[in-house]
Structure 1
């Protein structure tokens, strides 16, 4: 199955608590542990993109060396050009060129370093994000439906988007911080070379800056981690509200959903405000400390110049370099500030990448499409869903059945009997906890990846229609001809309404097929399965929204098609069931009876009561409309004007 046609996880009502995602139940993780885990993630990113990251670091090192070198150049220009100009009262052209040349050269080298650093650093970050978005999405497609049932769709969207961005966002400041480390080293050497005394005075600022940064990071880490976790909660709640728009509007729950979203959004706002408040408190301190250091250098430097120990250019050089020192420290602080988000993002992303309940595959090849209908067998299959608290909820018990190739089998049973779960087992959306499912005598678990999808097609109860053309919705691969598409539409009895659309096959049907009726969407989904010419076709109540007369035409067409398939249909209408060669009656997750429709009507009271309920309901509604009484009791109904509402689905 193509990725476009992959089943999406169902939304859940509960978002994952933010505190559960922080990496520490207390909400105050150890800073050293955060740094250690964050650096491991950084190392992984560097190994994934070593070349382009190395280019970014080289560019940053050139920038750092150029910036620090500009202090040395400025000091020399002060001594050779500016100070003599004050004494002479004039500046010659040669002096201007002597000053401008070195400054321009250093500026050019610095600009080249900035361009290389930013371009290569951005490419590194975006390539890592793209790489892991693809990895997460591929893993979503590999994981079984049972895994998706345990994870809200909003959380999965956040994993593939916000969490991936947070994981690799550290690579934006990282190359610069490594480069400015070069700046710090060059600046320190140049300051000591100019005047050890002034350098000692100025470098006293470094311990103060480091202490301020340590306090800053300790305060920021838990705040940033909580804010990142709450972003996922907001995404999850928003996705739920959008997915459940029909329920929200029809039940008048707009205000309640607004309040629910507002509560989560307000929590994220408060978390971001706390981050901003902390940053606003420490930024002036970190900015002001180097300024105090520069003032101290100027005061001591003035005294040193008057005593003849140094020249004016030395003071200018040290003061300028000291003003640059705060930047490397700030850059390192930016990296440390990103590490908490990196850790949280990576933990959420790796929880998907490391999910261990993926399906195993063998290397057996399925039979080719030309080999005719598939034979199907289920031997002692049992299955249990995982409940919200991790407990097993049994659904199927020791189900055994054989479907002869080319036959049509109807699976019938009351709600909750396990019919849809059985359909999922037959096409290997999930694997049985016990027993086996055999396709053409081969355990489906031994087939290669994609082998079952090549042989079998499932049309589920809830059909999904893409915001695309009719052709695009039927031919997901883009490789089929219009004749193939029309043939599938005719078999699904969808060719009539498609031909009446404004642009035929090229008509866009809107988001989720909004311009189509429920029955039209079901027939379009059926054509999507039929166009692949499956050897095994499973219809999980896939024609419930179709008129019974049209449904009978579809099933008769499937039975009479030249390239006939083995058909398993989950059904509840007697007209549908009577077309099957054999009926399997499920009750409480077990095969309670099997045989022809007539045989089960005669031998199984539960089956008889179930399949005749639809006809009884239809007769009662007809009696209401015509006489206002029920056929069995003669009791007066609520009124002959009662709307003819479709009976509630009972399977």
Structure 2
């Protein structure tokens, strides 16, 4: 499992602008409203800057001359500007509130679609918590930045520029003073980006690791309780949480550092400006109205200047969230539909392995292939049992048939067509799998069983349940419409396995691939399932990974897998007579089955 400092798929860092610019393809439909939000926000800012100019004229005009009749027009103008500013702020929020949610939904749907398309090898490497944090917290952060952070950053930067123009118009000397005093802010802002980006990325990765730990603890709660390892799990969680807390404190310290400058520099600048402004007013360089207008304008600019700190931190958070999002989206998917797909016009179910090799991408060269030159032919309607010791490559070989992984050499063909030349949807319609580790979804029994063939009839559903000896579903509160819990954990292991077998049978494939689908069943249920399966296997090509001698008995022929190679093929009787290794494997399976029966009976 990758740690927080070296997440899988970590991309080469790019600039903040270049990283965030990649969001445009998702934000494009919402940009008109985002632009309107910026325009109304700028209008509110400009109106706010105009009010000090009115006050400037008020001080130098009616207040100085004592003409009270001129005060009311100025008062009315200030009131009107204040109301107009409030309306513009309301419109800014109105325009930007909804588009961000649409962008977030569009990105989340794209991420989920990408995760569905990426091969199993990707999910083998990526912790689920890392993916979950990207799909939830990172996209939520991006939404908030686009809706508010980006708009306010643009609006406030423009306000600062326009405000400085007003300041220079009133007094170029005081304007230069304010510009010079702002230089430390820009320098520190640049240093802040380099430091904060690293810490923010580490924080988000650690949050993903922590989410993985929580998920594993929840899913494994039965094991933790059974072995009394709750304190151990808590200690591991606390350690990771403490690391995340330390990183968050480091983030807070970085933000506090820039806030120190953002608060200190303007205060010092105001003090110097006041001192210089009074001196200029005394010497007749500026009027009292100019001085009032200057500091009123500077006061309006104080919020935009001070906001730069948290807007920058929000922007850098959004940048790292964007990087993490595109690390997944940029992952190359090697298992895709061919450019010129072929089709199996009249499926018979002939399955051919031709010199098949497979190894994981990150496997060292010195490690031999997991599947190392398998050549095997399964004729239409034939049932082939695949037996071998643990680690011989049985499950891996079955996973290659439906392209959960792709062969690294050789080919697998169904009815003469390489599986890589078929569309994935057609391939996975022709073939169905039942895994030893039966996974169900938080849906009804009906939806779980008909997952591979949702248009199946009620008779098809009943037949699949009958073959899998899963009649227990009729005793559930709502029968086949009963919603099973997360991953089906509300059911026993044997019940989950029977529903997984029913799911494979209900798909009515041309080739049925079963990876030890009966391992969690008791002896009596196993016998009933095997008897019912014979009806299905009589007309369906099947490849069965057998961990029990009784499962081997279902097969027409048996293939012996040893160290990734097929070393013998024949009937059970033939291999018993000719292969010493086969006799050893069968003896081992019998011992395991006998031990399993003893455990059940006890």
Asked whether the 8 Å contact 2:266–2:302 carries over to 1, the reply is yes
1:484 aligns to 2:489 (yes or no): no
Match of 1:337 in 2: 313
For the residue of structure 2 that corresponds to 1:415, the secondary structure is: coil
Asked whether the 8 Å contact 2:49–2:300 carries over to 1, the reply is no
Cα–Cα, structure 1 residues 68 and 315, in superposed 2: closer, same or farther, change >3 Å?
farther
Match of 2:540 in 1: 565
Match of 1:533 in 2: 508
Match of 2:53 in 1: 75
Q: Deviations over 1:416-462 (max 9, x none)?
A: 11111111112221111111100111000000131211111000110
- C-alpha displacement of 1:287: 1.9
Matches within 5 A, 1:220-259: 220-259=196-235
CA distance in 2, matches of 1:606, 1:87: 113
Gaps of 5+ in 1: 1-13, 25-32, 623-643
- C-alpha displacement of 1:599: 1.7
- C-alpha displacement of 1:120: 4.5
Gaps of 5+ in 2: none
- C-alpha displacement of 1:488: 1.9
Larger mean CA deviation between 444-453 and 121-130 belongs to: 121-130
1:294 aligns to 2:263 (yes or no): no
CA distance in 1, matches of 2:423, 2:385: 28
Match of 2:304 in 1: 328
CA distance in 2, matches of 1:361, 1:323: 61
CA distance in 2, matches of 1:512, 1:185: 57
Cα–Cα, structure 1 residues 110 and 226, in superposed 2: closer, same or farther, change >3 Å?
same
CA distance in 1, matches of 2:593, 2:180: 91
For the residue of structure 1 that corresponds to 2:407, the secondary structure is: coil
Match of 1:285 in 2: 261
Asked whether the 8 Å contact 1:383–1:396 carries over to 2, the reply is yes
CA distance in 2, matches of 1:465, 1:621: 24
Q: Deviations over 1:131-155 (max 9, x none)?
A: 3333333232222222322333333
Asked whether the 8 Å contact 2:36–2:95 carries over to 1, the reply is no
Asked whether the 8 Å contact 1:489–1:527 carries over to 2, the reply is yes
What is the number of residues matched between the two proteins?
Answer: 598
Match of 1:603 in 2: 578
CA distance in 1, matches of 2:593, 2:254: 68
1:16 aligns to 2:16 (yes or no): no
Matches within 5 A, 1:399-418: 399-418=374-393
1:59 aligns to 2:34 (yes or no): no
CA distance in 2, matches of 1:391, 1:472: 45
Matches within 5 A, 1:61-460: 61-77=39-55, 79-80=57-58, 84=62, 95-96=71-72, 98-123=73-98, 125-165=100-140, 170-171=145-146, 172-356=148-332, 358-362=334-338, 363-367=340-344, 371=346, 373-386=348-361, 392-460=367-435
For the residue of structure 2 that corresponds to 1:49, the secondary structure is: helix
TM normalised by structure 1 equals: 0.82
Asked whether the 8 Å contact 2:203–2:247 carries over to 1, the reply is yes
Matches within 5 A, 1:569-648: 569-615=544-590, 644-646=598-600
- C-alpha displacement of 1:269: 0.4
Q: Deviations over 1:169-225 (max 9, x none)?
A: 643412221122321232222222233344344444322433443444454343333
Cα–Cα, structure 1 residues 646 and 415, in superposed 2: closer, same or farther, change >3 Å?
farther
- C-alpha displacement of 1:544: 1.3
Cα–Cα, structure 1 residues 174 and 467, in superposed 2: closer, same or farther, change >3 Å?
same
Asked whether the 8 Å contact 2:45–2:155 carries over to 1, the reply is no
TM normalised by structure 2 equals: 0.88
- C-alpha displacement of 1:342: 4.1
